Amino acid sequence: MNIAEHNIETVWPERLPESLARFLEYWQGLRQRVGRLPRRREIDPLDMPRGLLPGIGIFDWLPQTGGAIRIRYRLLGDNHMQAVQRNLSGCYFDEVHAPDTVAALQAEYAAILASGEPAYVRRATPLPNHEFAVFQRIIAPLLDDQDQPRHLIGYWLWENLGNEQRYRSTL
């Protein structure tokens, strides 16, 4: 089953939940302050709005010889680990996802990197217990030290896992 089949919504909502709006404002503010796409090393957890870190994910876009691409989960916050019931930080997408899911995510992330703009999605993701978790997510591009778009940063708002408030940012 392709990941696109799990998309609930890919059009930006009229109003974002507060934590997603604060993440987007943080990224846009950083982009405005530096006058270009931010570099990964310019992401400072101390500058992030309070309560966002548990929902943050950072990814590395790693071109391979022969034109192949691998994506690595560089960092996933505690909310993500609680939601998917495992720590994926440091893992490559092709180590934990089916080939069709990897291909769909590569295409999705390539479009974000190429556009230089953040993207929104509301999606259901399968869990190890064969249930689904629903999240809203914004992913935005980041530059490497050679000013190439090779990283992404995102914020996940998990909607339907146990105590829903546990997965929402605390103000």
Each residue's pLDDT tens digit, 25-36: 999 999 999 999
Per the document, the length of the chain is 171
Calculate mean pLDDT across residues 104-118. Answer: 95
Q: Tell me if 104 sits within 8 A of 2, measured CB to CB.
A: yes
- Residue-level pLDDT at 161: 58
**Domains, the chain:** 3-167 (3.30.450.20)
Task: Tell me, rounded to whole angstroms, the distance of Cα 76 from its chain centroid.
Answer: 9
Q: Tell me, yes or no, if the pTM score tops 0.85.
A: yes
Task: Tell me, rounded to whole angstroms, the distance of Cα 110 from its chain centroid.
Answer: 13
Q: Tell me if 137 sits within 8 A of 157, measured CB to CB.
A: yes
- Residue-level pLDDT at 4: 54
pLDDT tens-digit map of 136-160 = 999 999 999 999 999 999 999 998 7
C-alpha to C-alpha distance for 69 and 11, rounded to whole angstroms: 26
pLDDT band at 81 (very low <50, low <70, confident <90, very high): confident
